[in-house]
Amino acid sequence: MKRYALDGRKNFIGERARKVRESMELSQEQVAAQMEIMHVVINGNAISLIEAGERFVSDFEALYLAKVLKVDLMWLLTGEES
């Protein structure tokens, strides 16, 4: 059986992404707009769902989200620096 959620969450990065986004004083729409400049098609609602742990995140979305938030991808995934 495939497992698509762990403890009810569909991603590990959402909570850390939200905290960083808020500390940068960016809206979810601003993060989405910056990702779209990098050719990642996403909107503010998707960022909201990611932050809530209600949406899966592809590898390229995680990579570009880390770039927009100016954090290490490994930290975004694990909470630990690489």
Q: Specify the pLDDT at position 81.
A: 79
Q: Specify the pLDDT at position 74.
A: 96
- pTM for the whole structure: 0.90
Q: Specify the pLDDT at position 82.
A: 73
Q: Specify the pLDDT at position 6.
A: 77
By the 10 Å C-beta count (0-12 exposed, 13-18 middle, 19+ buried), 54 is classed as middle
- Say how far apart CA 25 and CA 4 lie, in whole Å: 31
Q: Specify the pLDDT at position 68.
A: 98
SS3 17: helix
Q: Which residue is it, tokens 């004083």?
A: 25
The beta strand positions in 1-82, using DSSP E, are none
Q: Specify the pLDDT at position 66.
A: 98
- 10-residue mean pLDDT profile of the chain (82 residues): values are 76 97 98 97 97 96 98 95 76
- Say how far apart CA 61 and CA 57 lie, in whole Å: 6
